[in-house]
Structure formats: C-alpha cells, structure tokens
Chain A
Amino acid sequence: MSYLKKDSDKKTLAQEHKDYLGLDIPKDYFINSKKNILKNISKAEGEVKPIRQFKSAYFYPIAASLLLALGLTFWIQDNKSVTPIEFNKMKMTQFSPENNESLVASLFVDESDMDNFLDAYVMNEIILETAIEEYNLDAIFINSFFVEDSLIDKYFDENIIESMLL
C-alpha cells in the first residue's frame, strides 16, 4: 500500500527533492522533529485537562445561576408591567421639559392620583430645588473670602448670574 513506506523509500524521497529541486534538510532532521512533536503533544494534552475539569465542575452551576437570574428578571418585569398609556403619562409628567409647570404636568394625572402627584411635585420641584439653590449661594459666599477685594464685584456678578439664572 502506498502509505507504508520503508526507510529505503524515505531516503529516496529526500534524495528526489534534493536532486530535482535542490531542497535539503538538516542531518537527522526527521528523528529530532519526531521527538519535538511528541514532546509538544504531551504539553498540548496537559493544557487540555484543566479546561475539561473546569467545564464539568463549574459549567452547570454557572449556567443554572444565569438562567435563574434571567428568569427572575423577566418575572419581576412582568409583575411591574405598565400599559403604554400609563408609560406615556409617566414620561410626560416626569421627564418632559414642561414638568416645571405643575399645571401642565397635572393635566396628565388621574384625579385619584392627584394627592400623591402634588406631594411628589412639591417635594421634588420646590423643596429640593430651594435647598440646592441655598447650598449654591452659601458656596459662593464662602468662596468669596478667598477672592481678592479688587476682583470681588466681578466674582459675585459671574457666580450669582450662573447660579440664579442658568
């Protein structure tokens, strides 16, 4: 059979390449190459084992945890689902630029939710904003101690304009 070559044939093969193509190889190349290949294969075998161990030991618990987390996420989302109309209302009352005007925002709120809406609006828009403005003004005055007298007018003009108007 053609795939079974004897040593004498192998010499002929190398000789053929040398004679016809001028291709040569180092002395004892195939003996040394065989040793290297066998050495590399044992290394490669050693590298494969930890992956198999990891797969069997950790793969299924990790996969199960991920599935559980995913399932819970969808379940929670289903329980808190909102209709598109309600969602639009929420969007318009909470995130639209017009929500500074309580009158406009309140048009999108049901009568039954009005009390809650007003409480939330007063808390978010009036009390918190006032607190932030006060904090900003305090900061301007404290910082003014560190500004030279000749620059104090310019400092107040810039910061107060920025804080109050912008």
Chain B
Amino acid sequence: MIDESKLIEDLKNPALKNKAFTTLLDLYQERLYWHIRKMVVTHENADDVLQNTFIRVFRSIKTFKEKSTLLTWMYRIAYNESLRYLEKNNKISHLSMDEIELKNQDVLTQDIYFDADAVQQKLHKVVEQLSDKQGMVFKMKYFDDLSFKQIAAISDVSENTLKSSYYTAVKLIEEKMLAS
C-alpha cells in the first residue's frame, strides 16, 4: 500500500521523481483518461489531452501545496486542460453552441472507439444537451463517482450550486429518456 504523502515527497525529490512518476501513472492514468474522454468526446482527443495533463503535472508538482488530495489536484489539471483543448478547437472552427453540440454528437458517432446501442446513444445525446455546468457536474458525479466537495475543488464552483445543477440535470435526463 502506498502512502500518498510519501508519494508526493518522492515526486518533489529530483532523485526519486522519475520512479515516483511511474507509480503515479499506474495509479491515476486510467481514471484521468476516462474523465478527459467524457469531456473531449473522442479517444484521439482524450489521448492528446491526457499526455498534456501528465506533462503539466510533472512540471508543476513542485508547486503542489497539498491543500487538496493529489487526485483532486490532478483532476483539476485534467479538467482545465480539457477546457483549454475544447476552447482552442472551437475557436478555430468558429462554431456556435448549437453547432458545437451537433458536431460533438457527429464526432462521437464517427469515433471508431465508440460502439453504443440505441439507449447509450440517446443518453449521450441528452447529456450533450445539458448546459455546460449541468453536463460537467453530471459526468463527474454520475460517471466518475466524485463527491460534490471534490468537484467543487476541481471546478471552482460552490458545492450548493453543483448540487442544484446536478439534480436539475438528473431530472432533465430522466424526462428526456422517458419521453423517447
């Protein structure tokens, strides 16, 4: 069993950093990947963002002040990297929000690593129709199983706002799924 504070100490020690980083990848690589994948939609995009996220973690671990857990801090970096990636891509293509929604659905169905049945496709479509905040909190809470406290630390949004957005999102999804 690995002690998190020992891991952080090793990551900050130049002599032990590389070995500790390999351990860090073993522990968190997959969780971060799935978090990113749900934000940037395709496997190819998620792979790019995951690489950038770990490079950023490696470069900034010295500045980590341990005010949150290591996982929450890394989720925050992954979340910001995903937003940066989406912003950059949407700026380049000059799309409106409706067009981005449609584009994300098209991109998802064209991804060779997406193989969903009708119900799963419907769920994706409904989640894409949520507002940014509702979609973000729903994905983190429902799929990544993060607590509201963790999501608040990652996204800089208050816990109460997140709770309200989450329950609104769940209600909307239920309504739309049942209606179809």
Contacts and interface: CB of A to CB of B under 8 A. Distances in A.
Interface in B44-87: 47, 50-51, 54-55, 58-59, 69-71
A30 B116 contact: no
Contacts of B123: 21
Contacts of A13: 30-31, 34
Contacts of B22: 34, 38
Contact of B124 (A21, A26, A30, A33): A21
A50 to B, nearest CB: 15
Interface residues of B, number: 38
A44 interface: yes
Interface string A14-36: 10011011111110011001101
Interface residue tally on A, bucketed by range:
20 to 34
A39 B37 CA distance: 22
| A13, A33, A40: most-surrounded residue (chain B CB, <10 A) | A33
Interface stretch (A2-10, A52-60, A101-109, A123-131): A2-10
Given A23-B114, A40-B55, A41-B55, A14 B124 contact: no
Contacts of B70: 3
Contact of A33 (B27, B50, B116, B143): B50
B55 A22 contact: no
Interface in A76-102: none
